[in-house]
Structure 1
Amino acid sequence: MALTPLTDREISLVRAGLAIVEPHAADLTVYFYTILFARYPQVRGLFPDNMDGQRDRLLRGLLRIVDLVDDPDNLVRFCTLLGRDHRKFGALEAHYPAVGECLLAALARYADTAWTAEVEAAWTRAYTTAAQVMIAAAADDARSHPATWAAQIVRHEHRGHGIAEITVQPELPYPYLAGQYVSMLTPWQRKAWRHYSPANAPRHDATLTFHIRAVPGGRVSSALVHRAAVGDVVTLGPPQGDMTLAAAEDRDLVCVAGGTGLAPIRALLEEAAHSDMRRYVDLFVGARTAEELYGLDDMLRMAQRQHWLTVRAAVSHQHIPGRQGTLPQVLREFGPWSQHEAFLCGPPGMVEAAARILRQDGVPMARIHHDPLSDPVLNTSLVPARTEPESEYL
Structure 2
Amino acid sequence: MDTARLKESWESVTRFGGQVPLFFYSTLFLTYPAVREMFPAGMSAQRDKLVGALGRIVAHVDDLDQAMPFLRQLGRDHRKFAVTAEHYPAVGQALLTTLAHFLGEEWTPELAADWTAAYTLVAEVMTTAARDSTQSTPPWWNAEVIRHERRTAEIAVLTVRTDHPLHYAPGQSVSVETHLRPRIWRYYSPANVPRNDGVIEFHVRMVDGGAVSAALVQAIQPGDVLRLGAPVGARLTLDHKQDIVLIAGGTGLAPLKALLGQVAEEGFHRTAHLFVGARRAHELYDMPSLQAFAQAVPRVRVIPAVSHDPRFTGPRGLAGQVALGHGPWHGHEIYVCGSPEMVADTRDMVLAAGIDAERIHCEEFSGYQGPTENVQSVLKRG
Same fold (TM over 0.5): yes
Could you tell me which of 218, 228, 236 is aligned with 2:210? 218
Cα distance in 2 for residues equivalent to 1:199 and 1:24: 41
Q: Find the counterpart in structure 2 of residue 33 from structure 1.
A: 25
Give the secondary-structure state (helix, strand or coil) at the position aligned to 1:25: coil
Cα distance in 1 for residues equivalent to 2:237 and 2:174: 17
Q: Find the counterpart in structure 1 of residue 378 from structure 2.
A: none
Cα distance change on mapping 1:309 and 1:208 into 2, 3 Å: same
Paired AA for residue 245 in structure 2:
V
How far off its partner does 1:318 sit? 1.3
C-alpha contact 1:150 1:171 (8 A) present in aligned 2: yes
Cα distance in 1 for residues equivalent to 2:21 and 2:260: 43
Q: Deviations over 1:351-393 (max 9, x none)?
A: 11111122223333333222343447872189xxxxxxxxxxx
Q: Find the counterpart in structure 2 of residue 331 from structure 1.
A: 323
Matches within 5 A, 1:1-394: 6=1, 10-66=2-58, 68-243=60-235, 245-247=237-239, 249-319=240-310, 320-374=312-366, 375=368, 379-380=372-373
Cα distance change on mapping 1:82 and 1:183 into 2, 3 Å: same
Cα distance in 2 for residues equivalent to 1:295 and 1:277: 27
Cα distance in 1 for residues equivalent to 2:261 and 2:317: 27
Cα distance in 2 for residues equivalent to 1:16 and 1:180: 35
Give the secondary-structure state (helix, strand or coil) at the position aligned to 1:24: coil
Cα distance change on mapping 1:152 and 1:79 into 2, 3 Å: same
Cα distance in 2 for residues equivalent to 1:378 and 1:299: 25
C-alpha contact 1:186 1:235 (8 A) present in aligned 2: yes
How far off its partner does 1:293 sit? 1.3
Give the secondary-structure state (helix, strand or coil) at the position aligned to 2:167: coil
C-alpha contact 1:338 1:362 (8 A) present in aligned 2: no
Paired AA for residue 42 in structure 1:
A
Larger CA deviation: 78-87 vs 30-39: 78-87
Q: Deviations over 1:175-204 (max 9, x none)?
A: 112221110000011211011111111112
Q: TM-score, normalised by structure 1?
A: 0.89
Q: Which runs of 5 or more residues in structure 1 are unaligned?
A: 1-5, 383-394
How far off its partner does 1:160 sit? 2.4
C-alpha contact 1:85 1:377 (8 A) present in aligned 2: no
Cα distance in 2 for residues equivalent to 1:125 and 1:348: 35
| Aligned length, in residue pairs | 373
C-alpha contact 1:243 1:343 (8 A) present in aligned 2: no
Q: Which runs of 5 or more residues in structure 2 are unaligned?
A: 376-382
Paired AA for residue 12 in structure 2:
I
C-alpha contact 1:25 1:59 (8 A) present in aligned 2: no
Paired AA for residue 290 in structure 1:
A
Paired AA for residue 153 in structure 1:
V
How far off its partner does 1:277 sit? 4.0
Cα distance in 1 for residues equivalent to 2:182 and 2:190: 22
Q: Deviations over 1:122-144 (max 9, x none)?
A: 11111111111111111111121
Cα distance in 2 for residues equivalent to 1:340 and 1:67: 38
C-alpha contact 2:236 2:362 (8 A) present in aligned 1: no
